[in-house]
């Protein structure tokens, strides 16, 4: 018996791969197939707003960590609420 594939097996494999490519997309991919979406880069104003939000939240986080480490009452409050 020879090693490798016979002609019949190769033909079946190529037919299977062609059938999988022809299948219609289902679900979200099928819904979005006809839609056209464009992505636009955010402007300076939007970048500044998001940057300010991120920096503000980071400052609040740092202040809460410092308060947690320095103030025993706040530490106990966080510890009891976390249970």
Classify residue 51: in a domain, yes or no. yes
Classify residue 75: in a domain, yes or no. yes
Residues contacting 42, CB < 8 A, separation 6+:
50
Q: Contact 74/67 with Cβ under 8 angstroms? A: yes
How many other CB atoms are found less than 10 A from the CB of residue 78?
13
Classify residue 7: in a domain, yes or no. no
Classify residue 13: in a domain, yes or no. no
Classify residue 80: in a domain, yes or no. yes
Domain count within the chain: 1
Q: Which pLDDT value is given to residue 80?
A: 92
Tens digits of residue pLDDT in 11-25: 555 555 555 555 666
Q: Contact 68/78 with Cβ under 8 angstroms? A: yes
Tens digits of residue pLDDT in 24-41: 667 777 777 777 777 788
Classify residue 4: in a domain, yes or no. no
Name the more confident of 19 and 77: 77
Sign of CA dihedral 75, 77, 78, 82: positive
Classify residue 14: in a domain, yes or no. no
Classify residue 78: in a domain, yes or no. yes
Instruction: Provide the phi-psi class of 27: left if phi over 0, else alpha when psi is between -120 and 50, else beta.
Output: left
């Amino acid at each position: 018996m020879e090693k490798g594939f016979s002609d019949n097996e190769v033909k079946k494999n190529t037919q299977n791969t062609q059938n999988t490519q022809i299948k219609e997309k289902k679900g979200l991919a099928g819904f979005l197939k006809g839609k056209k979406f464009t992505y636009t880069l955010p402007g300076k104003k939007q970048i500044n707003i998001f940057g300010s939000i991120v920096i503000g939240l980071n400052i609040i986080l740092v202040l809460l960590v410092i308060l947690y480490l320095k103030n025993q009452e706040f530490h106990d409050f966080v510890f009891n609420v976390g249970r």
